[in-house]
Amino acid sequence: MARVYVSSVIEAPAARVWERVRDFNGLARWHPAIRDSRIENGEPADRVGCVRDFHLQNGDRIREKLLALSDYDCFCTYAILESPMPLADYVATLRLTPVTDGNRTFAEWTAEFDCAAEVAEELVGNIGQNVFQAGFNALKRQLAG
């Protein structure tokens, strides 16, 4: 099983960051790699079990299912249902923790998945940098000040 872990500190209160990332259908509003997104069957974007269907900027399509969402603990967990990436059983969690010293946010994004050994390192690096860290960097730019 491959594992990805990326963490960062965002110079904004956790409640403000959570407002931005909480919407399971809102990736296109804050993540630069996402072109568009919709929740299937008109379900609410915060209903556990809903499925988001989105396209990357390069046109690739991904479908993900919301597995857990907690406003109290500021995290969401989701699974990839369909993706052009050569992986299976992908489950990821985006979690925010308040940093009370300076009213900042400690952000963690983790994922575990199965894949062929020969592509594991490339997938871990790509997801870690181009998805997770790129998302954190975008949040930092958008929430600065």
Give residue-wise pLDDT tens across range 46-97: 999 999 999 999 999 999 999 999 999 999 999 999 999 999 999 999 999 9
In the prediction, which pLDDT does 33 show? 95
Which tokens go with 37?
């997104």
Residue 145 pLDDT: 62
Domain 2-143 class? alpha beta
Mean pLDDT of the chain: 96
Q: Determine the Cα–Cα distance for residues 93 and 77; give it in Å rounded to an integer.
A: 4
Domains of the chain, by residue range, sit at 2-143
Please report where in the chains the tokens 């994922």 appear, as a residue.
111
Distance CA 23, CA 70 (A): 12
Would you place residue 144 in the very low, low, confident or very high pLDDT band (cuts 50, 70, 90)? confident
16, 143 Cβ separation under 8 angstroms: yes
Angle value at C-alpha 95, between 74 and 68, nearest 5 degrees: 70
Alpha helices in 76-144 (DSSP H): 117-126, 134-143
pLDDT over 80 at 18, yes or no: yes
Whole-structure pTM over 0.85, yes or no? yes
Over 90: is that where the pLDDT of 143 sits? yes
Determine the Cα angle at 1 with ends 106 and 50, to 5°.
65
Q: Give residue 90's pLDDT.
A: 98
CA–CA gap between residue 92 and residue 111 (Å, rounded): 4
Query: What is the structure's pLDDT at 104?
Result: 95
User: What's the confidence (pLDDT) of residue 42?
Assistant: 93
Identify the CA nearest to 8 among candidates 68, 97, 100, 83.
97
For 89-142, the pLDDT digits (tens) are: 999 999 999 998 888 999 999 999 999 999 999 999 999 999 999 999 999 999
